């Protein structure tokens, strides 16, 4: 786990270096996970480190990419057509996202996260991300990345159901034997999620 975290933070540092022209500033008082502000010196991306910690590095990074989308697409100072701009920024982020970022964003949007009037509903954002995923990655099979990301989001929905099953065992059973049986079924369901995921990714290309 530690090594994974170190690798993730290295990737993170690398990503910042690549896009070093835009400063990224943590602000624990920001009322949102990330936002971009156009200043006379150029764009600045702010992010809330506390919300990012809760959301996880991949989702936080997807949100920062969304802000880079606004910058790269030249959305600038004008507040005209906010819904179209948010859709374009989501698409840009999806096109430039890593698999981990896509999976995190899809899992979040599929659960209805990230919804508001400007950005649309969670499922709308998920559909947009799926349509745009991988379309800008040089040397990365666009179809493949999108396919794998869909498999992952299906797996996470499946796993959530498996975990709900366990919670139901605790609620509904009044004997240890019942709980053991019920938990066994829930564990089987979780294993099936993983098998389905493997099959799903194997079928991707």
Residues that bind Zn ion (CB under 5 A): 86, 89
Sign of CA pseudo-dihedral 79, 83, 85, 86: positive
User: b/e for 140-176, b at 16 or more Cβ within 10 A?
Assistant: eeeeebbbbbbbbbbbbebbeebeebbeebeeeeeee
Q: How far is the CB of 94 from Zn ion (least distance, A)?
A: 13
Output 89 or 148, the one with its CB closest to Zn ion: 89
Nearer to Zn ion, 54 or 83 (CB): 83
- Report, in Å, the least distance between residue 60 CB and Zn ion: 14
Place of tokens 């970022």: 101
Tokens of 175: 């004997």
Return the number of the residue (89 or 103) whose C-beta is nearest Zn ion: 89
Q: CA 90, CA 204: separation in Å to the nearest integer?
A: 23
CB of 83 to Zn ion, least distance (A): 10
Q: How far is the CB of 66 from Zn ion (least distance, A)?
A: 5
Pick between residue 106 and residue 147 the one whose CB is nearest to Zn ion: 106
């Amino acid at each position: 786990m530690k090594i994974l975290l170190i690798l993730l933070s290295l990737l993170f540092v690398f990503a910042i270096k690549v896009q070093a022209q835009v400063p990224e500033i943590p602000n624990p008082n920001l009322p949102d996970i990330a936002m971009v502000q156009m200043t006379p010196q150029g764009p600045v991306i702010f992010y809330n480190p506390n919300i990012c910690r809760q959301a996880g590095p991949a989702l936080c990074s997807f949100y920062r990419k969304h802000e880079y989308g606004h910058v790269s697409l030249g959305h600038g100072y004008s507040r005209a057509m906010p819904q179209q701009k948010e859709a374009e920024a989501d698409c840009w982020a999806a096109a430039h996202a890593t698999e981990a970022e896509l999976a995190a964003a899809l899992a979040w949007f599929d659960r209805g996260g990230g919804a508001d009037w400007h950005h649309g509903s969670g499922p709308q954002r998920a559909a947009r991300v799926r349509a745009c995923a991988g379309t800008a990655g040089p040397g990365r099979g666009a179809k493949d990345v999108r396919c794998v990301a869909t498999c992952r989001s299906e797996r996470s929905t499946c796993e959530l159901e498996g975990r709900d099953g366990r919670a139901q065992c605790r609620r509904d059973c009044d004997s240890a034997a019942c709980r053991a049986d019920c938990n066994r079924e829930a564990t089987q369901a979780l294993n099936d999620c993983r098998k389905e995921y493997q099959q799903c990714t194997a079928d991707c290309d």
